[in-house]
Structure 1
Protein backbone atom coordinates (compact mmCIF):
# COMPACT_ATOMS: atom_id res chain seq x y z
CA UNK A 1 0.00 0.00 0.00
CA UNK A 2 1.34 3.39 -0.93
CA UNK A 3 1.72 6.25 1.54
CA UNK A 4 0.73 9.88 0.94
CA UNK A 5 4.35 10.66 0.01
CA UNK A 6 4.37 7.80 -2.48
CA UNK A 7 1.04 8.93 -3.87
CA UNK A 8 2.73 12.30 -4.48
CA UNK A 9 5.46 10.57 -6.51
CA UNK A 10 2.74 8.77 -8.48
CA UNK A 11 0.93 12.07 -9.10
CA UNK A 12 4.19 13.46 -10.48
CA UNK A 13 4.28 10.53 -12.93
CA UNK A 14 0.81 11.50 -14.17
CA UNK A 15 2.00 15.12 -14.56
CA UNK A 16 4.97 13.91 -16.62
CA UNK A 17 2.62 11.76 -18.74
CA UNK A 18 0.48 14.85 -19.37
CA UNK A 19 3.62 16.78 -20.33
CA UNK A 20 4.52 14.03 -22.80
CA UNK A 21 1.04 14.26 -24.31
CA UNK A 22 1.33 18.06 -24.64
CA UNK A 23 4.51 17.56 -26.68
CA UNK A 24 2.82 15.03 -28.98
CA UNK A 25 4.11 11.92 -27.30
CA UNK A 26 2.43 8.91 -25.74
CA UNK A 27 1.43 9.72 -22.15
CA UNK A 28 3.94 7.97 -19.90
CA UNK A 29 5.98 9.41 -17.04
CA UNK A 30 8.24 7.91 -14.37
CA UNK A 31 10.13 8.95 -11.24
CA UNK A 32 13.11 7.23 -9.57
CA UNK A 33 13.08 7.57 -5.79
CA UNK A 34 15.87 6.71 -3.33
CA UNK A 35 15.29 4.65 -0.21
CA UNK A 36 15.10 7.88 1.84
CA UNK A 37 12.18 9.11 -0.31
CA UNK A 38 14.12 11.72 -2.28
CA UNK A 39 13.51 12.01 -6.02
CA UNK A 40 16.69 11.20 -7.91
CA UNK A 41 15.56 11.45 -11.53
CA UNK A 42 12.41 11.67 -13.62
CA UNK A 43 11.51 11.45 -17.27
CA UNK A 44 8.61 11.24 -19.70
CA UNK A 45 8.06 9.37 -22.93
CA UNK A 46 10.08 10.82 -25.82
CA UNK A 47 9.33 8.27 -28.55
CA UNK A 48 7.57 10.59 -31.01
CA UNK A 49 9.77 13.60 -30.40
CA UNK A 50 13.00 11.61 -30.71
CA UNK A 51 12.00 9.11 -33.38
CA UNK A 52 13.42 6.29 -31.26
CA UNK A 53 10.82 3.78 -30.06
CA UNK A 54 13.00 2.83 -27.07
CA UNK A 55 12.86 6.29 -25.46
CA UNK A 56 10.54 5.18 -22.66
CA UNK A 57 10.99 6.91 -19.29
CA UNK A 58 11.42 3.64 -17.36
CA UNK A 59 14.26 2.62 -19.69
CA UNK A 60 15.89 6.04 -19.30
CA UNK A 61 15.69 5.81 -15.50
CA UNK A 62 17.24 2.32 -15.53
CA UNK A 63 20.15 3.65 -17.58
CA UNK A 64 20.49 6.68 -15.27
CA UNK A 65 20.50 4.41 -12.22
CA UNK A 66 23.18 2.15 -13.73
CA UNK A 67 25.42 5.17 -14.34
CA UNK A 68 24.79 7.02 -11.07
CA UNK A 69 23.94 4.57 -8.29
CA UNK A 70 25.65 1.69 -6.53
CA UNK A 71 24.05 -1.76 -6.78
CA UNK A 72 22.82 -1.45 -3.17
CA UNK A 73 21.28 1.97 -3.85
CA UNK A 74 19.54 0.64 -6.97
CA UNK A 75 18.13 -2.36 -5.09
CA UNK A 76 16.72 -0.07 -2.37
CA UNK A 77 15.18 2.41 -4.84
CA UNK A 78 11.61 2.55 -6.13
CA UNK A 79 10.46 3.41 -9.64
CA UNK A 80 7.07 5.10 -9.73
CA UNK A 81 5.42 5.15 -13.12
CA UNK A 82 2.17 6.12 -14.78
CA UNK A 83 1.92 2.73 -16.52
CA UNK A 84 3.26 -0.73 -15.80
CA UNK A 85 6.58 -1.31 -17.54
CA UNK A 86 6.58 -2.84 -21.01
CA UNK A 87 8.77 -5.96 -21.40
CA UNK A 88 11.73 -3.89 -22.66
CA UNK A 89 11.61 -1.56 -19.66
CA UNK A 90 10.98 -4.41 -17.22
CA UNK A 91 14.08 -6.18 -18.56
CA UNK A 92 16.18 -3.02 -18.19
CA UNK A 93 14.85 -2.60 -14.63
CA UNK A 94 15.79 -6.18 -13.81
CA UNK A 95 19.19 -6.09 -15.48
CA UNK A 96 20.34 -3.01 -13.53
CA UNK A 97 18.94 -4.39 -10.27
CA UNK A 98 16.41 -1.71 -9.42
CA UNK A 99 14.01 -2.37 -6.55
CA UNK A 100 10.28 -2.00 -6.22
CA UNK A 101 7.92 -0.66 -8.88
CA UNK A 102 4.72 1.26 -8.13
CA UNK A 103 2.51 1.84 -11.17
CA UNK A 104 -0.70 3.83 -11.62
CA UNK A 105 -2.20 1.72 -14.40
CA UNK A 106 -1.49 -1.88 -15.35
CA UNK A 107 -0.53 -3.36 -18.70
CA UNK A 108 -3.89 -5.16 -18.69
CA UNK A 109 -5.74 -1.88 -18.13
CA UNK A 110 -3.83 -0.22 -20.97
CA UNK A 111 -4.55 -3.12 -23.32
CA UNK A 112 -8.26 -2.82 -22.49
CA UNK A 113 -8.28 0.93 -22.98
CA UNK A 114 -6.51 0.68 -26.33
CA UNK A 115 -8.99 -1.97 -27.48
CA UNK A 116 -11.96 0.19 -26.37
CA UNK A 117 -10.50 3.15 -28.24
CA UNK A 118 -9.77 1.12 -31.37
CA UNK A 119 -6.15 2.24 -31.09
CA UNK A 120 -4.60 -1.14 -31.86
CA UNK A 121 -2.09 -3.10 -29.87
CA UNK A 122 1.53 -2.06 -29.43
CA UNK A 123 4.21 -4.03 -31.33
CA UNK A 124 5.36 -5.80 -28.14
CA UNK A 125 3.04 -8.02 -26.11
CA UNK A 126 1.95 -6.37 -22.88
CA UNK A 127 2.39 -8.51 -19.78
CA UNK A 128 2.86 -8.11 -16.05
CA UNK A 129 6.33 -6.96 -15.04
CA UNK A 130 6.77 -10.03 -12.85
CA UNK A 131 6.59 -12.27 -15.93
CA UNK A 132 9.80 -10.59 -17.07
CA UNK A 133 11.41 -10.04 -13.65
CA UNK A 134 10.20 -12.79 -11.30
CA UNK A 135 10.24 -11.98 -7.60
CA UNK A 136 10.22 -8.22 -8.08
CA UNK A 137 8.05 -6.30 -5.61
CA UNK A 138 5.38 -4.55 -7.70
CA UNK A 139 2.42 -2.50 -6.49
CA UNK A 140 -0.46 -1.20 -8.56
CA UNK A 141 -2.71 -0.18 -10.07
CA UNK A 142 -3.64 2.91 -8.10
CA UNK A 143 -7.38 3.44 -8.69
CA UNK A 144 -7.30 7.05 -7.43
CA UNK A 145 -5.11 8.07 -10.39
CA UNK A 146 -5.83 5.43 -13.04
CA UNK A 147 -8.82 7.33 -14.47
CA UNK A 148 -6.55 10.33 -15.14
CA UNK A 149 -4.10 8.11 -17.02
CA UNK A 150 -6.95 6.53 -19.00
CA UNK A 151 -8.08 10.02 -20.04
CA UNK A 152 -4.57 10.88 -21.23
CA UNK A 153 -4.50 7.74 -23.38
CA UNK A 154 -7.97 8.56 -24.74
CA UNK A 155 -6.76 12.03 -25.77
CA UNK A 156 -3.66 10.54 -27.41
CA UNK A 157 -5.77 8.01 -29.35
CA UNK A 158 -8.08 10.78 -30.56
CA UNK A 159 -5.09 12.69 -31.93
CA UNK A 160 -4.01 9.67 -33.96
CA UNK A 161 -7.42 9.40 -35.68
Structure 2
Protein backbone atom coordinates (compact mmCIF):
# COMPACT_ATOMS: atom_id res chain seq x y z
CA UNK A 1 0.00 0.00 0.00
CA UNK A 2 1.53 3.30 -1.06
CA UNK A 3 1.93 6.17 1.35
CA UNK A 4 3.65 9.55 1.61
CA UNK A 5 7.04 7.84 1.97
CA UNK A 6 6.47 6.17 -1.40
CA UNK A 7 5.45 9.50 -2.94
CA UNK A 8 8.63 11.12 -1.60
CA UNK A 9 10.80 8.43 -3.19
CA UNK A 10 8.89 8.74 -6.46
CA UNK A 11 9.52 12.49 -6.36
CA UNK A 12 13.24 11.68 -6.01
CA UNK A 13 12.96 9.42 -9.06
CA UNK A 14 11.49 12.34 -11.02
CA UNK A 15 14.47 14.47 -9.91
CA UNK A 16 16.87 11.76 -11.07
CA UNK A 17 15.02 11.54 -14.39
CA UNK A 18 15.49 15.30 -14.78
CA UNK A 19 19.22 14.85 -14.04
CA UNK A 20 19.34 12.20 -16.76
CA UNK A 21 17.72 14.61 -19.20
CA UNK A 22 20.19 17.37 -18.25
CA UNK A 23 23.06 14.98 -19.02
CA UNK A 24 21.66 14.10 -22.46
CA UNK A 25 20.12 10.79 -21.43
CA UNK A 26 16.51 9.64 -21.63
CA UNK A 27 14.65 10.75 -18.49
CA UNK A 28 14.55 7.70 -16.21
CA UNK A 29 15.62 7.56 -12.56
CA UNK A 30 15.43 4.93 -9.83
CA UNK A 31 16.06 4.45 -6.12
CA UNK A 32 16.64 1.25 -4.12
CA UNK A 33 15.41 1.40 -0.51
CA UNK A 34 15.96 -1.34 2.05
CA UNK A 35 13.52 -2.59 4.69
CA UNK A 36 14.86 -0.04 7.19
CA UNK A 37 14.06 2.86 4.83
CA UNK A 38 17.73 3.43 3.91
CA UNK A 39 18.54 4.49 0.36
CA UNK A 40 21.02 1.88 -0.81
CA UNK A 41 21.44 2.96 -4.44
CA UNK A 42 20.14 5.59 -6.79
CA UNK A 43 20.85 6.38 -10.38
CA UNK A 44 19.53 7.48 -13.73
CA UNK A 45 19.60 6.37 -17.34
CA UNK A 46 23.11 6.43 -18.88
CA UNK A 47 22.35 5.21 -22.40
CA UNK A 48 23.56 8.34 -24.24
CA UNK A 49 27.03 6.78 -24.49
CA UNK A 50 25.67 4.08 -26.80
CA UNK A 51 25.05 1.19 -24.37
CA UNK A 52 21.28 0.78 -24.37
CA UNK A 53 21.43 -1.54 -21.34
CA UNK A 54 22.49 1.28 -19.01
CA UNK A 55 19.08 1.58 -17.35
CA UNK A 56 19.01 2.52 -13.65
CA UNK A 57 16.78 -0.44 -12.75
CA UNK A 58 19.28 -2.85 -14.32
CA UNK A 59 22.12 -1.12 -12.44
CA UNK A 60 20.16 -1.51 -9.20
CA UNK A 61 19.77 -5.25 -9.81
CA UNK A 62 23.51 -5.68 -10.49
CA UNK A 63 24.45 -3.57 -7.45
CA UNK A 64 22.01 -5.40 -5.16
CA UNK A 65 23.26 -8.83 -6.27
CA UNK A 66 26.77 -7.86 -5.17
CA UNK A 67 26.02 -5.77 -2.08
CA UNK A 68 22.90 -7.20 -0.41
CA UNK A 69 21.93 -10.59 0.97
CA UNK A 70 19.06 -12.45 -0.67
CA UNK A 71 16.90 -11.57 2.35
CA UNK A 72 17.76 -7.87 2.14
CA UNK A 73 16.97 -7.87 -1.58
CA UNK A 74 13.59 -9.55 -1.04
CA UNK A 75 12.62 -6.98 1.61
CA UNK A 76 13.69 -3.96 -0.45
CA UNK A 77 11.66 -1.65 -2.67
CA UNK A 78 12.70 -0.28 -6.05
CA UNK A 79 11.17 3.11 -6.84
CA UNK A 80 11.39 4.21 -10.42
CA UNK A 81 10.20 6.96 -12.72
CA UNK A 82 9.00 4.50 -15.35
CA UNK A 83 7.78 0.94 -15.21
CA UNK A 84 10.62 -1.52 -15.81
CA UNK A 85 11.23 -2.66 -19.37
CA UNK A 86 11.38 -6.46 -19.84
CA UNK A 87 15.20 -6.47 -19.50
CA UNK A 88 15.07 -4.64 -16.17
CA UNK A 89 12.08 -6.63 -14.92
CA UNK A 90 13.95 -9.86 -15.65
CA UNK A 91 17.06 -8.61 -13.83
CA UNK A 92 14.87 -7.59 -10.88
CA UNK A 93 13.32 -11.05 -10.76
CA UNK A 94 16.59 -12.94 -11.21
CA UNK A 95 18.26 -11.22 -8.24
CA UNK A 96 15.14 -11.49 -6.07
CA UNK A 97 14.40 -7.85 -5.39
CA UNK A 98 11.14 -6.97 -3.63
CA UNK A 99 8.33 -4.55 -4.38
CA UNK A 100 8.41 -2.14 -7.32
CA UNK A 101 6.72 1.28 -7.19
CA UNK A 102 6.70 3.27 -10.43
CA UNK A 103 5.56 6.78 -11.36
CA UNK A 104 4.53 6.12 -14.97
CA UNK A 105 3.59 2.90 -16.74
CA UNK A 106 4.97 1.32 -19.89
CA UNK A 107 1.51 1.72 -21.39
CA UNK A 108 1.60 5.47 -20.68
CA UNK A 109 5.07 5.78 -22.21
CA UNK A 110 3.94 3.92 -25.31
CA UNK A 111 0.96 6.26 -25.70
CA UNK A 112 3.14 9.34 -25.17
CA UNK A 113 5.62 8.17 -27.82
CA UNK A 114 2.77 7.58 -30.29
CA UNK A 115 1.33 11.03 -29.53
CA UNK A 116 4.75 12.60 -30.21
CA UNK A 117 5.28 10.59 -33.40
CA UNK A 118 8.30 8.85 -31.87
CA UNK A 119 9.15 5.25 -32.71
CA UNK A 120 8.48 2.63 -30.06
CA UNK A 121 11.50 1.02 -28.34
CA UNK A 122 13.00 -2.07 -30.00
CA UNK A 123 11.87 -4.25 -27.06
CA UNK A 124 8.17 -4.82 -26.33
CA UNK A 125 6.67 -2.72 -23.57
CA UNK A 126 5.16 -5.29 -21.22
CA UNK A 127 3.75 -4.93 -17.72
CA UNK A 128 6.30 -6.02 -15.10
CA UNK A 129 4.08 -8.87 -13.90
CA UNK A 130 4.12 -10.34 -17.43
CA UNK A 131 7.86 -10.88 -16.91
CA UNK A 132 8.02 -11.36 -13.12
CA UNK A 133 4.61 -12.67 -12.08
CA UNK A 134 5.09 -12.78 -8.32
CA UNK A 135 6.56 -9.37 -7.54
CA UNK A 136 4.36 -6.74 -5.92
CA UNK A 137 3.95 -3.76 -8.26
CA UNK A 138 2.32 -0.39 -7.60
CA UNK A 139 1.78 2.42 -10.07
CA UNK A 140 1.27 4.63 -11.92
CA UNK A 141 0.91 7.77 -9.82
CA UNK A 142 -0.81 10.63 -11.70
CA UNK A 143 1.17 13.60 -10.36
CA UNK A 144 4.57 12.01 -10.91
CA UNK A 145 3.49 10.50 -14.24
CA UNK A 146 2.57 13.98 -15.45
CA UNK A 147 6.06 15.21 -14.53
CA UNK A 148 7.63 12.27 -16.37
CA UNK A 149 5.50 12.94 -19.43
CA UNK A 150 6.81 16.51 -19.51
CA UNK A 151 10.41 15.27 -19.26
CA UNK A 152 9.76 12.79 -22.08
CA UNK A 153 8.39 15.61 -24.25
CA UNK A 154 11.48 17.73 -23.52
CA UNK A 155 13.80 14.84 -24.31
CA UNK A 156 12.16 13.99 -27.63
CA UNK A 157 11.73 17.64 -28.66
CA UNK A 158 15.51 18.05 -28.32
CA UNK A 159 16.37 15.08 -30.51
Same fold flag (TM > 0.5): yes
- Secondary structure at the counterpart of residue 158 of structure 2: helix
Aligned to 1:59: 58
Aligned to 2:29: 29
The list of structure 1 runs, each at least 4 consecutive aligned residues, that deviate by more than 2 angstroms after superposition, is none
- Secondary structure at the counterpart of residue 58 of structure 1: helix
CA distance in structure 2 between the partners assigned to 1:58 and 1:159 by the alignment: 24
Aligned to 2:45: 45
Q: CA deviation at 1:47?
A: 0.2
Count of aligned positions? 159
1:11-26 matches, within 5 Å, as: 11-26=11-26
Q: CA deviation at 1:65?
A: 0.2
- Secondary structure at the counterpart of residue 91 of structure 1: helix
1:100-119 matches, within 5 Å, as: 100-119=99-118
Aligned to 1:2: 2
What TM-score does the superposition give when structure 1 sets the normalisation length? 0.97
Give CA deviations for 1:72-114 in whole Å, capped at 9, x if unaligned.
Answer: 0000000000000000000000000000000000000000000
CA distance in structure 1 between the partners assigned to 2:119 and 2:51 by the alignment: 19
CA distance in structure 1 between the partners assigned to 2:3 and 2:40 by the alignment: 18
- Secondary structure at the counterpart of residue 82 of structure 1: strand
CA distance in structure 2 between the partners assigned to 1:137 and 1:2 by the alignment: 11
Unaligned runs of 5+ in 2: none
Aligned to 2:83: 84
CA distance in structure 2 between the partners assigned to 1:25 and 1:6 by the alignment: 25
- Secondary structure at the counterpart of residue 110 of structure 1: helix
CA RMSD of aligned residues (A): 0.6
CA distance in structure 2 between the partners assigned to 1:125 and 1:99 by the alignment: 23
What TM-score does the superposition give when structure 2 sets the normalisation length? 0.98
CA distance in structure 2 between the partners assigned to 1:115 and 1:101 by the alignment: 26
Q: CA deviation at 1:156?
A: 0.7
